[in-house]
Each structure stands twice: as structure tokens, then as C-alpha cells.
Structure 1
């Protein structure tokens, strides 16, 4: 995976997939409002279909990787912050891009966002010590990894029905090269639901930091270019409903927008059986 010299996106427009870069935003706009395609054309970012901003390999996700989130769920857990990382894999069908739509099943009681720093591997990593781990990072992006809490085993252990839902993992909008992020443990995260801040945290509060996670994972599996590590979320998750717009922000990385839609938008009956 080649390291780009600036932040990039992948979009579908005019019958093709393009690499795009941001243009300076006008007052009141964000950096996805106008974009420049690799062939030089400038388009309105709202006209494009935004894809995950890099070609994704294996999707590796962390559960309970912020101390405050562990505390938030303390009454429901049988694990502690001292345990080994809680890791699980996700399939490619779970991924969508910036401004995409995620289904909120009518029959569930509690579905929540998870604002996460996504770490993209750029060099093959096998048994990498922590002090060398960040040299294997190509860059970063923002992730919103939805979960339906109804289906959690013991209310904490991620399983397929909770964390591998079609369109439930949002990535983007930008792939930010590692050279622009000198310290991945010094970033601020926040989530806004319909414009209201509902979640805030700092990557400094991860139980297992980025370098430690790469060292841990590469100790038993080979990490390849394009693999992505979703590093967990801080406390502050709330139930979201169809019609809500969720924005996950990481300072220096980007702002990722997503809208929840009900079953009817996906051609499904409003029934718990379709959850």
C-alpha cells in the first residue's frame, strides 16, 4: 500500500471510482463539500457516493478498549481493563462510506454508534515489538461501528448479529497519512446526534494503545497492507433511532456523517423477525 502525500478519499461518480482530495471549505461547509478528482475535475461532494477511503483488507475490531467505557458498562461485564484485548473480525459487507445509510431495525430496543479511530496497516507486520509498531501504519481514518445491544452475549461479548451487520460499519471520509498524525494517542473524539454532542473522549484513554495493539495482533497473525484495526470507543453511547443523523469526529482526522433509516427504506417489513 503506497503512502499518499495528502489525505485522500475514494468516491463513485460518473460511472467510475475515483481518488479524491479535499478543497478549501467555504464558510459553514466542511472539507467534503467540494472535492477534486484525480483527473483534475472538481465536483460537489454531495453528488458523489463516498466509499471507504482505502481498499480494505481484514477488518479487526476491538471491544472495551477505553477505560471509561468499561466503567460505563461495569454492571454488565465479566471482564476488566486488565484482561487481554477483546478482538473480533468483521466481513466486507459491513462497510459503507461517508454519508451512507445504516438500517435501524424496528424490533430492537437499543442500537448505538461507536466513534473509533481506525488504524490502516501499510507494511506487513509479523511479531513487531511495540517500539517499532507505528512504522507499520500507513494512516488513519474515522470509523462509526454500530452495535445492537439486544444481541450481545452477556451484554459485552461481540457476536455476528451485533457487530457484523450489513452497512453497520462506516469508514471515512478521508484516509489521513501517518505523517500527519505524530501521536495517535493524543487525539480527541466526539459524536454528535442531530447536532448535539453525546460522546467525547481521548485516545490517550485507550486501555491498549495503537502500538500495543499492533504488537499484540502481529504476535499471532500477520498484518498485511490494507488491514484496518478499529480501536474501540469511549463512553457516552446512546440509543439512536431511524431518522437520526450521526456525526463522528476525530480532531485532525475528519468528520464522518451517517444517517439511520428504518426497515422500509431497505425493502423490509417493520417486524422483529427482520432484525
Structure 2
């Protein structure tokens, strides 16, 4: 049962109250409106919800993905700090902390959702819907569909509160491509980067001599540095150094 300490918050947040209902009554709501309509409504709610709405709705948080917020007396307070996503490339803030965690997760029988906040005042958020039955992921950033038709991972991370980085299935014609279990299936992967400042998306596809088995992207000054693996990042040996502003911008 959700902690009653969130009740006061929900009384003043109609959106949070609706989100809580759609999360708690997922099977019944999906049966009544259909799977597609349920997915679109839940994504719309999560795209508009605050971090505290997500906590009050009973989603798991950065601290513990598999259980509801255990520190509502702290997490329901107003935050005076900027999002940790502006300072830390691969991690969101972890509670207990005023304003609640920076990431939230919901798990059901055949689907799961992940929400990652970024930017000062949590003004940006990425919403991932992972349909396990279809082995497919859909992504919304600030309410807009991103990466439609791509085979995406179900997680991503923010850089500088501006760039969302998500791994995607790699090219079939890569000379070192392999296949195996997992959501993406490909051993060599591509990288999708969405820029919320311009609402633009680019997908980086590894070339024949780029072995991106677990690529990492780092924002350094005005550039995005792409590393093939965590080991390459540790050694500071990037495969590519790109301007943060894409050529069309």
C-alpha cells in the first residue's frame, strides 16, 4: 500500500491522481480501452507528470526500481537544487531527496515503463514503453515520439540536461556483427542522440572499423565524443568526435 504521506500531494495534483489510477488499475484499464489506447494515455500522463507525481503513483525509483518510495516525508518536499542530470552524465539523482528521484520505473506482466527526468526543474523527460510481448520499445521525449521504427533499448541517459542517448540495434551488414539474446539482439549497436534544444534526432551507425559493442557518449565542451566501449572511454580513445550542434542546426 502506498504511504499515506503522498495523499496530501495527490489531493493537489489531479494529474498525479489520474496517473496513480492508470498504474494501479493497468490490467482493467487496458481491457476497457485496448492496449494501444492504454499505452498512448499512460505515455501522455508520464510525459506531463512531475517526479513527485510518479513517486506518489507508486512507481519504483532510482533508489529501488522494484518498490514504491519509502521516504515520502522527504521526497514530497520542494527541491531548490537543479537536476543531477545536468551534472552527472549517466545517472539521475537518487533519493531520499526533496523533489523525489530523477528516474522512475513500472513493471507489469507483459510491459514496463521507464521515465528519466533532466534539465533544471525537471523540464525534460524521456518516457520508454517496453512491450515484452512484441519485443519492441517506444520512446517519447517531452511528449513527442522519437525514434519511430527503430529498434531501441529500453533505457537511456541524459547528457547535460539536453541530449538523450539511447542504444539501438546495429547494422546487419557490419563485418563484425553478431546476434544473440537480449532486446537489441545485435552485438554491434548504433546510438540514437536526441537534442531537446532543437527537437532533432540523429542516429550514429558504426562503420566497418568501429566495433561499438557497448558505446558511450560524452559531452565535452561543444563536442560529443563517442567511445566504442567503457574501456575505450577509460583510455580516452574516442572513435568519433562530433560537434554538439548537428550540421543542420
TM-score by length of 1: 0.26
TM-score, structure 2 normalization = 0.28
Q: Which has the higher strand share?
A: 1
Could you say which structure has the higher helix fraction?
A: 2
